Structure 1
């Protein structure tokens, strides 16, 4: 699993290797920055994403996942407290795979973006379809309702400990460093235990 972050600095770095080592020297051993690159001014780690991939592992098989694929208004699957913070509840789900792995079922969903707790709420409904024998057609019905209360009638949010953000994808063009930027740093083998960065 990897994450992408961005920040703005007023300093011009001609070499990113020492900066890269300095950052890793400040982090605990189990957290590493694997790559540092300059980015174009328009790049934003969250809003520039092309798609995101989530995994969720459950112990019940559900076959209603395909009803989520496509462009839908997912208001029914957003946490009610956070509905007012959402710019648009319309999201595109490109795939929702159900894979059997020994004693568990792994769900992998990829989409252009997700509302607060949307993945956990979708999983919760699929668990109920598998466990309680609800008809798969209940999924498009709840989507069409655009009302979180409709989902609450049959399912609560799935617990967070089964959810993992596996990857975040971007268009190649948005990741190209600006002309004249220093080379991309992929890190060094040694670590710096203490350092002082220019922006401190």
Structure 2
């Protein structure tokens, strides 16, 4: 009889999403893998009694980045072996993940009732837009694949802010869901806590040779989102900022409650999107009994 102790941890991690097929694991035969594939490959090198499975809190698609995503894992240790400290796990994983653009920001021991996805109180996404240039090559090299170069004039921020106000609150977001089927089908009712539109300084903007270059940020917060909802909202708000739509059109799209009512070619590209933060209630993170034991 071998006694095993199991400890649950919450991992905070970030990644540059351009080279990955999203965050979720995909079959190893695929030419492009997910971030989770690399996390679990790194975990294999720890030679634990049972392979680690990362339970991801927030799905991101191909090309989408994360400033901070989260996942929980259960790590088993044989009798007499102490649980790993948070610092040891952070350092070990960051060494084992090299040279992938994936970094562990922190680790925290959590109760075994905690769930990275279902315990989340909110998720915040930021969408970045660049204006004032026609070709993507005109932006600083450090901004490549980190923003949407719209190739049009600067944005009408006041109109975008007016339009964004229609999105805030509890709505049926059927018009803003992906046309591709979600299995299982999710409820289209979501509550958007925040939708902000603001200018941004950009990264190393002062090194750009384009004097007219400007950056903008669209930030959305909700407990959860529909598949591609953020990119659809961002695309519509940018269209409003370019005066191709009026703010009241956003209200009309919400009232339509029909995915077919979404205007064609307004889905914002993935590379401008960042998962910024996943928030939890501190009470859910507090440890009660630190370990559970099984024989």
Taking structure 1 as the reference length, what is the TM-score of the superposition?
Answer: 0.79
Judged with a 3 Å threshold, the aligned counterparts in structure 2 of structure 1 residues 174 and 139 are, in CA distance, closer, same or farther, namely same
- Tell me, yes or no, if the aligned pair for 1:76 and 1:147 is still in contact at 8 Å: yes
1:53 and 2:164 matched:
no
* Partners of 1:107 and 1:22 in 2: CA distance: 35
Q: What CA deviation, in whole Å up to 9, does each residue of 1:28-49 have, x standing for no partner?
A: 1553323323222232212221
* Partners of 2:190 and 2:270 in 1: CA distance: 21
> Larger strand proportion, structure 1 or 2?
2
* Partners of 1:51 and 1:180 in 2: CA distance: 25
Structure-1 residue corresponding to 2:280? 170
Gaps of at least 5 residues in structure 1 are 182-200
Structure-1 residue corresponding to 2:258? 147
| Displacement after TM superposition at 1:133 (Å) | 4.1
| Displacement after TM superposition at 1:84 (Å) | 4.6
The Cα RMSD (Å) is 2.2
* Partners of 2:284 and 2:126 in 1: CA distance: 25
1:101 and 2:200 matched:
yes
| Displacement after TM superposition at 1:160 (Å) | 0.9
- Tell me, yes or no, if the aligned pair for 2:172 and 2:254 is still in contact at 8 Å: yes
| Displacement after TM superposition at 1:25 (Å) | 2.8
Gaps of at least 5 residues in structure 2 are 1-66, 132-154, 202-213
Aligned residue pair count: 180
Structure-2 residue corresponding to 1:189? none
1:68 and 2:167 matched:
yes
| Displacement after TM superposition at 1:163 (Å) | 0.7
After the TM superposition, which of the residue ranges 39-48 and 70-79 deviates more from structure 2? Answer: 39-48
* Partners of 2:177 and 2:254 in 1: CA distance: 11
- Of 210, 214, 223 in structure 2, the residue corresponding to residue 112 of structure 1 is 223
- Tell me, yes or no, if the aligned pair for 2:77 and 2:83 is still in contact at 8 Å: no
Q: What CA deviation, in whole Å up to 9, does each residue of 1:43-68 have, x standing for no partner?
A: 22122211111111224232311110
- Of 70, 93, 108 in structure 2, the residue corresponding to residue 23 of structure 1 is 93
* Partners of 1:15 and 1:43 in 2: CA distance: 18
- Tell me, yes or no, if the aligned pair for 2:110 and 2:290 is still in contact at 8 Å: no
Judged with a 3 Å threshold, the aligned counterparts in structure 2 of structure 1 residues 162 and 176 are, in CA distance, closer, same or farther, namely same
Q: Give SS of 1:138's match.
A: helix
Structure-2 residue corresponding to 1:127? 238
- Tell me, yes or no, if the aligned pair for 2:111 and 2:290 is still in contact at 8 Å: no
Structure-2 residue corresponding to 1:14? 83
* Partners of 1:51 and 1:175 in 2: CA distance: 15
| Displacement after TM superposition at 1:73 (Å) | 1.2
* Partners of 1:38 and 1:67 in 2: CA distance: 40
Taking structure 2 as the reference length, what is the TM-score of the superposition?
Answer: 0.56
Q: What CA deviation, in whole Å up to 9, does each residue of 1:164-189 have, x standing for no partner?
A: 111111111111123345xxxxxxxx
Structure-2 residue corresponding to 1:33? 104
